Amino acid sequence: MGLETVKDEIIKVAKRKAEEVISEGKKEADKLLHQAEETINQRKEELNAELKKTETAIKNKETAFSELEIKKMFLEGKKKAIGGVFEGVRKKLNTLNSKKREAHIKKLLGEAQKELDVKHVYCNARDRGFVEGFDVEETEILGGIIAENEQKELRVDYSYELLLDNIREKHMNRIGNILFG
């Protein structure tokens, strides 16, 4: 074998080795590329899942907020309706005839006398004539009375305003159920 043959043989072996290395390199590159694509796809799926979770959470939050706003508006409407009922009662009390007003005042005075020794009575100008035997002072109330003992230490308030407020406070749920079912 001559030198030329050895040289050709070495070049041939080197080329084969180079081709094998290149082929292995390409396989390794393809493998790495495939792994990178899988990682990208997996991360993409994870991000999509996170996005869907976030989107669902935002929708749920917005829905809850909207439902709360609707409930607030509904309750506000109920309060206005109940307020309207009480305003109607106030107007009706204000337009009571003298006979009914007198009966109310007498009954309220009787109730006040059960609680204290009444000496001073506060009432509006329309009801003043129905109060006899007490020191009477006019005050700005819708109707009813406010009674005090002689020393003005004890007081009971039977004004229509306070009576209506007490009824409203004690029976709000019942009134709401009657009006709204």
Assign 1 a pLDDT band (cuts: 50, 70, 90).
low
Measured in degrees and rounded to the nearest 5, phi and psi for residue 85 equal: -65, -45
Cα→Cα distances 76→68, 72, 73, 85, Å:
12, 6, 5, 14
Structure tokens, 6 = 């050895």
* Least confident interval from 9-13, 68-72, 126-130: 9-13
pLDDT at 30 over 90: no
- CB count within 10 Å of CB 157 equals 16
The pLDDT tens digits for 46-60 are: 888 898 999 999 999
Average of per-residue pLDDT values in the chain: 88
Question: Domain spans of the chain?
Answer: 1-95, 98-180
Q: Is the pTM of this model over 0.85?
A: no
pLDDT at 179 over 80: no
For 149, counting Cβ atoms within 10 Å of its Cβ (0-12 exposed, 13-18 middle, 19+ buried), the class is middle
- Per-residue pLDDT of 135-177, as tens digits, reads 999 999 999 999 999 999 999 999 999 999 998 888 777 877 7
Choosing among 3.30.420.40, 1.10.260.40, 3.30.2320.30, 3.30.1280.10, the CATH entry for 98-180 is 3.30.2320.30
**What's the token pair of residue 36?**
């990178």
CB 146 within 8 A of CB 128: no
